[in-house]
Amino acid sequence: MPVRQPPPPGPRAPARARPGPSGRGPLRLPGRAALRLPGRRWLALAAVLLATFMDLVDVTIMNVALPRVQRDLGASYAAGQWTVSVYALAYALLLITGGRLGDLLGRRRVFLAGVAGFTAASVAAGAASSPGMLIAARAAQGAFAGIMVPQALSLITVRFPPGRDRTLAFSLYGGLLGVAQVSGPILGGVLIDHGLTEHGLLGLGWRAIFYVNVPVGLAAFAGAVRWMDPDRARAGVSGAARGRLDLGGAALMSAASLLATFPLIQGRELGWPAWSVALLACSVPALAAFAVYERRRERLRAAPSSRPPCSGGGRSARGCRSRWRCSRASRRASSR
């Protein structure tokens, strides 16, 4: 009796791909395992972290090049200190304002403006021919960095829901902070002493620590344009509050910081004159004025925008014996 042979196996049906984090399915190659591409939000995070790394490295990279900068430009001790401290000062003063601008104008727009401004300021710092030009360029670098960096934390909070992905994103950001703080002096020493010295490749010298930001900034800008989704103002902010910036608070905080920083840097070189001590003392009331201004602003923001009528006559005044009772009733109504 002939034995029946089983039919040859037919072609397998293609496996159904699961959608990736960005809604797109993974790329499947014939005869190979699936290749899962990172989603748009991870690529956008990579572009933002690249720019953040560039900003944080520039905080400490100047420390290594400072002696050569002073020798090349003929800068004094105070001018050399300003090239280091003015970056951190402008960076710290605009961090809160930068986050607020991201809420008002959109994180993508503010981030792109910060990257473009920082890259242009780096070119200006590399081409500086005097201490004043270098200090101004470093101040512009710090200002644009303060505008740019808050968008990284905002991107993680908005684009990554609570859970494993957000934890991983914040872990990458935290690890980047530590690496950037250590890499600044190391990278500065490598750029100055190997291959980019006055007698080496390109002959850039200390200017290489600024020109290296140009390709990094262009890469971060292109990545943000490609993968960072446009956004609008934060939905939870009211229209009245969304249209205002705390310019008064920023001005008072800037004045207090300058009153404390300027005499500390210039006073040593000038022998601590009386005006330097007076400016340093004036920073304390300026800081107190900032605290009072912010507390008053918070009270005005918490006050009700409208109150019930409280006049001297008519039926509407019978239940309102005093202005204090009327305002108390309005506060109770607004809190409900």
Report the pLDDT averaged over residues 302-323. 44
Report the pLDDT averaged over residues 43-72. 88
* pLDDT, tens digit (0-9, with 9 covering 90-100), for 70-102: 888 888 888 888 888 889 888 888 888 888 888
What is the pTM (predicted TM-score) of this model?
A: 0.69
CATH says 40-229 is which class?
mainly alpha
The per-residue pLDDT for 1 is: 53
**Both tokens assigned to 96:** 């809160």
Rounded to the nearest integer, the mean pLDDT of the chain is: 76
* Residues 24, 42: Cα–Cα separation, whole Å: 13
**Both tokens assigned to 330:** 């309005």
* pLDDT, tens digit (0-9, with 9 covering 90-100), for 240-262: 444 577 788 878 888 888 888 87
Tell me the torsion sign for CA atoms 64, 69, 72, 77.
Answer: negative
The per-residue pLDDT for 324 is: 45
**Both tokens assigned to 179:** 């690496």
Of the two residues 142 and 270, the one the predictor is more confident about is: 142
* Beta-carbon count within 10 A of 211 CB: 17
Output the CA–CA distances (angstroms, integers) from residue 78 to 83, 307, 315, in the order listed. Answer: 9, 56, 72
The overall longest dimension of the chain from CA atoms, in Å, is: 119
The residue among 182, 183, 189, 211 whose CA lies nearest residue 68 is 189
Kindly indicate the confidence band of residue 13, based on its pLDDT and cuts at 50, 70 and 90: low
> Which residue(s) pair with 35 in the sheet?
27
Assess contact for 25 and 18: CB atoms under 8 A: yes
The residue among 235, 249, 283 whose CA lies nearest residue 263 is 283
Output the CA–CA distances (angstroms, integers) from residue 9 to 5, 33, 242, in the order listed. Answer: 12, 21, 66
* Residues 51, 107: Cα–Cα separation, whole Å: 14
37 has a pLDDT exceeding 60: no
Determine what percent of the chain falls in helix, strand and coil, rounding each to the nearest 5.
70, 0, 30
